[in-house]
Amino acid sequence: MKPKLVVSKKANRKVVQDSQVTMVELVLPNDTNQLGALLGGKLMHWIDIAAAISAQRHSGKVCVTASVDEINFHHPIRLGEVVTLRASVNRAFHTSMEVGVQVTSENLLTGEKKTSNTAYLTFVALDSNGRPSEVFPIFPETNDEKRRFKEALLRRERRLQNRKPLSPKKGVR
């Protein structure tokens, strides 16, 4: 028998704003490569943390990274710049959630701000036994949230299509 998701009247109306996370980091020398730019792996670590907090905020459960659909590097982030990561749940499915993360870099000396990265990650909520657990639906309110909600379904369909095993051609060994 499938367990029922029990929610209070207030909790059953989860909106995107409830899952929003803002995380701020300063790029220090230990975070950079030989060219003085933030290491990609360090940024991916920060993205994963911000996205995980967003997923956990939405679901109220421990969440694990199931996939990273894409991380786009638009501009390098330099030593001494401030990095702001904004994450929120774009869409909730049965036990998984897509979280979008936008990364902005800011040069405090010039005031220049750039959207340097964007990323989409999927998280799965776990119950106390470490098994996938049902999550609340999410209700987008703004036009931008509604667009991201629709696009999340398209990315999920593409992700599921890519999970299908490749079948060998006949006669090829």
For residue 172, tell me if it sits in a domain: no
- And the tokens for 155? 């990315």
Better-scored residue on pLDDT, 161 or 149: 149
For residue 131, tell me if it sits in a domain: yes
- Listed range (5-19, 62-76, 87-101, 135-149) with the worst mean pLDDT: 5-19
* CATH number of the domain that residue 69 is part of: 3.10.129.10
Average pLDDT, the chain: 90
For residue 2, tell me if it sits in a domain: no
For residue 8, tell me if it sits in a domain: no
For residue 143, tell me if it sits in a domain: yes
The pTM (predicted TM-score) of the whole model is 0.85
Q: Distance (Å, rounded) from C-alpha 152 to C-alpha 120?
A: 9
For residue 168, tell me if it sits in a domain: no
CA atoms within 13 A on the CB side of 40: 8
Number of domains in the chain: 1
Query: Is residue 3 predicted with pLDDT exceeding 70?
Result: no
DSSP single-letter state for residue 11: T
Q: Distance (Å, rounded) from C-alpha 115 to C-alpha 51?
A: 17
CB 54 within 8 A of CB 100: no
For residue 112, tell me if it sits in a domain: yes
